[in-house]
Amino acid sequence: GAHVNTDPGVYVTAPQTASDGGHLELAKLLLEKGAHFNVEGRLYGTTLQAASRGGYLELAKLLLEKGAHVNVQGGTYPTALQLASEGGHLELAKLLLEKGADTNLAKLLLEKGADINIEGGEYSTALQDASSGGHLELAKLLLEKGAHVNDEVHPYGTALEGASGGGHFELAKLLLEKGADINLEGGEYSTALQSASGGGHLELAILLLEKGADINAEGWKHGTALQLASEGGHLELAKLLIEKGAHVNLAKLLLEKGANINAKGGFYGTALQLAIKGGHLELAKLLLEKGADINA
């Protein structure tokens, strides 16, 4: 007969496929036939993780009763804690932990013994996931439970970079209070300031500057703050970055702040190259007037 543990594709095993679809009776049948439910898959990890993603309460309860591992890693969302942080399935979290208290889902998972700093998946750690999503109370809880504030993993880099990219002011403030390294480089935009600049988040950018963010830091993809400003055209952000209210061209503002006009970095090299790519004639003129190297 058919082998219940044969790899069928993206979900890896038949039980994982059944769990992702919320098919309780089918999952019961497969388990009775000896299916391996703690096998790690390419997409959702284990059978329990596949069920958790969809919020299938009874199925998750069955798997826990059968001995499913709450801390196993694997797939796009490697832990139950990260799935809870991403999906917000409070009732599922209660069932996973076999508790009836109406309390914060992350607290429930942590009390169950989930590893708060496990890395992997789209956001790498639960704190990065919560930070990128702007979940302030969840981030507070994770930090209280010992989450590492300066862990850095692609694509969002640090938790501070993730919060900055999303424009989550209070969350970024919390992370800084908890010791986040403001100039730690990593992720798509390299630093928190570059991440905030890329998203056009004014208040957050000024907070970062006040806390000592390096305006000339260079990133692997987008280069410096000047290059990000040239690419995105965030005039109000540039004004706030340098604490000025005059209605002047954003490149001029950044240049007056001391940005290196010829700094190379990112896919397009210099600010002049970015301005040319975007067809910004006046910006290109200004950069040349300020000494941009036309042959850089």
Q: Of 129-133, 147-151, 162-166, which range is least confident? A: 129-133
- Can you list the domains of the chain with their CATH numbers? 1-123 (1.25.40.20), 149-247 (1.25.40.20), 256-295 (no CATH)
User: What burial class does residue 74 get, using C-beta atoms within 10 Å of its C-beta: 0-12 exposed, 13-18 middle, 19+ buried?
Assistant: buried
Q: pLDDT digit string (tens) for 8-52?
A: 444 456 766 666 666 778 878 877 877 666 666 666 577 777 777
Q: Kindly state the tokens that stand for 97.
A: 């932990």
Residue 162 CA to its chain's centroid (Å): 5
Q: pLDDT digit string (tens) for 157-211?
A: 889 998 998 999 999 999 999 999 999 887 666 788 888 887 888 888 889 988 9
